[in-house]
Amino acid sequence: MKVEISAKEIIKPSSSTPENLRNFKLSLLDQLAPPTYEPLLLFYFSNSDTGFHFCLKKSLSDTLTRFFPLAGRLKDNITVDCSDYGVVYLEARVDCLLSDFLQQPNADTLKEFLPVEDESIDAAGGEALLLVQSSFFSCGGVAIGVCLSHKFGDAATLSTFIKSWAATSLGSGETVQQPLYNGSSLFPPRAFSEGVIPPPTLLNFTKGKCVVKRFVFAAPKIAALKSIAASASVQQPTRVEAVTALIWKSAMNASRTNLGFSKLSLLSQSVNIRRTTEPPLPENSIGNLLWYFPAQKDESDAELQGLVQELRTGKQDFGKKYVKKLQSKDAYEEVTESLKEELCMLISNDIEFYNCTSLCDFYFYDIDFGWGKPTWVTNISGRSLKNVVRLMDAKGGDGGIEAWVTLEEQDMTLFEEDKELLAYASLNPRVLNITAMDSLKSCL
């Protein structure tokens, strides 16, 4: 399979941003966000034509009038210069059928459908805050790859943007919620003294020679997993808690076997602050409104129920204590102190650090640009960041979960053969079953 870029251009907002909106303030959490891109890939079966290519670009331009900061550039670590520089838009041709590609997608191939590496340092500099790549398969299928700078927003921000773009493409943009730019008022930015920079993000210190693999947990398997993960302390685990705990357990087992001894294991789990404040913030609140709560366990005591309990306790403590601290006048001190504590754990040779991000319940499978709902939606992280887990809803809408897991090579060798893990997860299964693929091939 070959993905060849056929066009590159800059898409600007269809109407100029007013002068009074030209300087957009970041929030404190934006300032502390990692200098990377948040990627999303959506695949569609379609009989697209050149006219629809133009419609995609026109609707993107119209959407940028509402999301005007995305067409800007970072001026410094506080301000986005919203002078309508535009977003990068690429078009590509793919010399294969989408149905063939979906038989067994892999991490290396998926990178070709993204307009930039998600770990690119361009996200921290004066480059585009948003890049898009539309890849057209020989059968008419389409892949939309979107990369949003983490200096501007999180996965929820990306979700709000791409849903607005799709609705505009369908001609129903008026029904979409307008973006709510309230981040800097909730978490005011901090002016750092010369020579002083925000604390380094944890992921910058977790690079290694890694392998990325995809695992899919079907809904019936998750139901069975939840039943054995339940305990008196957590009687009804969520599907994310159950899947995260099993992945964590299997990764710890692999690490302990390869090292020959046990370590303290710390898992940092993302949480959407919008859903934990009192009252909750609107989902269309733009910015990095997420943070991480830690859960820890000794590798020698890695039982599923205990891991679920640690995850639940960490989330409850975050909701009860940490969110209020984030909204206080001492938010910067609280955030930096938390980062310093985790950094000390991270660089310790006695602790194995994991990072898990969940994109479940964002309803990405409802995003329709005019080709119907996507056949597959996925999100994948870079290969150099070890011990990273990314979860999102699996195809089907029945509660299944797809997980991309990044581990060091020797750990992945044992992890992907873990019998308990494979009792509930399938390693890189076909996105479409054989019957569905044959049917589609006959129609395209």
Calculate the CA 437 to chain-centre distance: 28
State how far the Cα of 429 lies from the Cα of 412, in Å rounded to an integer: 17
**Do residues 75 and 25 make contact, with C-beta atoms less than 8 angstroms apart?**
no
* pLDDT at 261 exceeding the cut of 50: yes
Mean pLDDT of 319-324: 74
Q: What is the rounded CA–CA span in Å between residue 120 and residue 424?
A: 34
Highest mean pLDDT, choosing among 205-209, 285-289, 300-304, 378-382: 285-289
**Residue 227 in domain:** yes
For range 278-302, the mean pLDDT? 88
Residue with the bigger pLDDT between 90 and 187: it is 90
Same domain, 161 and 54: yes
**Which residues, 6 or more positions from 156, have their beta carbon under 8 angstroms from its beta carbon?**
272, 274, 283, 285, 289, 290, 362
Is residue 159 domain-shared with residue 213, that is, in the same domain? no
CA distances from 160 to 16, 157, 363 (A): 21, 5, 11
- Single pTM value for the model: 0.91
Q: Which of 186, 217, 236 finishes a domain?
A: 186
Buried b (16+ CB within 10 A) or exposed e, 220-254: ebbeebbeebbeeebeebbbbbbbbbbbbbbbbbb
Q: Determine contact, residues 42/128, Cβ cutoff 8 Å.
A: no
Helix axes 219-229, 239-259, angle to 10 degrees: 70
The pLDDT of residue 1: 84
**CATH for 22:** 3.30.559.10
Domain contains 271: yes
Least confident range of 205-219, 394-408, 427-441: 427-441
φ, ψ of residue 51 to 5 degrees: the values are -60, -35
Look at residue 440 and tell me whether its pLDDT is greater than 80: no
Which pLDDT score, from 0 to 100, does residue 135 have? 95
Asked if residue 348 belongs to a domain, the reply is: yes
Residues 147, 67 share a domain? yes
DSSP per position, 398-429:
SS-EEEEEEEEHHHHHHHTT-HHHHTT-EES-
Instruction: Give residues with Cβ within 8 angstroms of 311, minimum separation 6.
Output: 241, 244, 245, 267, 269, 295
Report which of 257, 277, 214, 151 is spatially closest to residue 421, judged by C-alpha positions.
Answer: 214
For strands 426-427 and 87-94, give the pairing. Answer: unpaired
Angle between helices 50-63 and 155-170 (to 10 degrees): 120
pLDDT at 197 > cutoff 60: no
Could you give the 3-state DSSP secondary structure of residue 216? Answer: strand
**Taking the alpha carbons of 64, 68, 73, 77 in that order, is the dihedral positive or negative?**
negative
Among 186, 218, 248, which residue terminates a domain? 186
Respond yes or no: is residue 81 known to be catalytic. no
- Name the band, by pLDDT with cuts 50, 70 and 90, for residue 319: confident
Does 333 have pLDDT greater than 80?
no
pLDDT band at 380 (very low <50, low <70, confident <90, very high): confident
**41-50, 88-97, 110-119: least confidently modelled range:** 41-50
Q: HSE (CB half, 13 Å, CA atoms) of 404? A: 26
Percent of the chain scoring above 70 in pLDDT = 84
- 442 belongs to a structural domain: no
Q: For the segment 56-95, what is each residue's pLDDT rounded down to a tens digit?
A: 999 999 999 999 999 999 988 899 999 999 999 999 999 9
Does residue 198 fall inside a structural domain? no
Torsion of CA 8, 152, 110, 87, to 10 degrees: -10
Quick one: average pLDDT of 126-147? 91
On whether the CB atoms of residues 412 and 215 are closer than 8 A, the answer is no
Tell me which residue range forms the domain holding 248: 205-435
Say if residue 383 is in the same domain as residue 278. yes
Amino acid at 38: E
Identify any residues that bridge with 404 across adjacent strands, giving them in sequence order: 214, 390
Has residue 430 got a pLDDT over 50? yes
Q: Has residue 130 got a pLDDT over 70?
A: yes
In percent, how much of the chain has pLDDT > 90? 63
Q: Is residue 11 over pLDDT 60?
A: yes
Is residue 201 scored above 90 in pLDDT? no
Tell whether 58 and 117 lie within a shared domain: yes
Mean pLDDT, the chain, whole residue set: 87
299 and 170 in a common domain: no
Ordered DSSP codes for 290-339: EEEEEEEEEGGG--HHHHHHHHHHHHHHIIIIIHHHHTSTTHHHHHHHHH
The residue among 2, 7, 3, 42 whose CA lies nearest residue 144 is: 42
Given this model, what pLDDT does residue 205 score? 47
pLDDT higher for 304 or 327? 304
pLDDT at 343: 66
Does the structure show a pLDDT above 80 at 442?
Answer: no
Which is higher by pLDDT, 248 or 108? Answer: 248
Cβ pair 161, 70 in contact under 8 A: yes
Is position 191 within any domain?
no
Distance CA 112, CA 95 (A): 13
User: Pick the residue with more confidence: 322 or 229?
Assistant: 229
- Residue 200 falls inside a structural domain: no
Tell me what pLDDT residue 207 has: 58
Q: Is the pLDDT of residue 419 over 90?
A: yes
Which residues are CB-contacts of 261 (< 8 A; sequence separation ≥ 6)?
Answer: none
Residue 119 and residue 64 in contact, taking contact as beta carbons nearer than 8 Å: no
Whether pLDDT at 187 is above 90: no
53 among known catalytic residues? no
- Number of structural domains in the chain: 2
Say if residue 230 is in the same domain as residue 123: no
Among the listed residues 150, 154, 393, 411, the single catalytic one is: 150
In a domain, 320, yes or no: yes
pLDDT at 277: 83
Boundary-marking domain end, from 154, 186, 218: 186
Same domain, 371 and 277: yes
Res. 386: pLDDT tops 80: yes
Residue 149 sits in the same domain as residue 259:
no
pLDDT at residue 435, rounded to an integer: 40
Q: What is the Cα–Cα distance from 181 to 23, expressed in whole angstroms?
A: 13
Of 62, 84, 100, 368, which residue is the catalytic one? 368
Within this chain, do residues 177 and 216 fall inside the same structural domain, yes or no? no
Shared domain for 387 and 297, answered yes or no, is yes
Question: Comparing C-alpha atoms, which of 33, 25, 45, 39 is closest to residue 110?
Answer: 39
Average pLDDT over residues 146-167: 95
Which of 24-33, 66-75, 414-423 is predicted with the least confidence, judged by mean pLDDT?
Answer: 24-33
Q: Which residue has the higher pLDDT, 326 or 188?
A: 188
Range in 93-102, 171-180, 226-235 the model is least confident about = 171-180
Whether residue 145 is found in the same domain as residue 244:
no
Which of the residue ranges 122-131, 335-344, 422-431, 435-444 would you say has the lowest mean pLDDT? 435-444
pLDDT at residue 439, rounded to an integer = 44
Cβ–Cβ < 8 Å for 144, 42: yes
Question: What integer pLDDT is reported at residue 192 of this predicted model?
Answer: 64
* pLDDT higher than threshold 70 for residue 31: yes
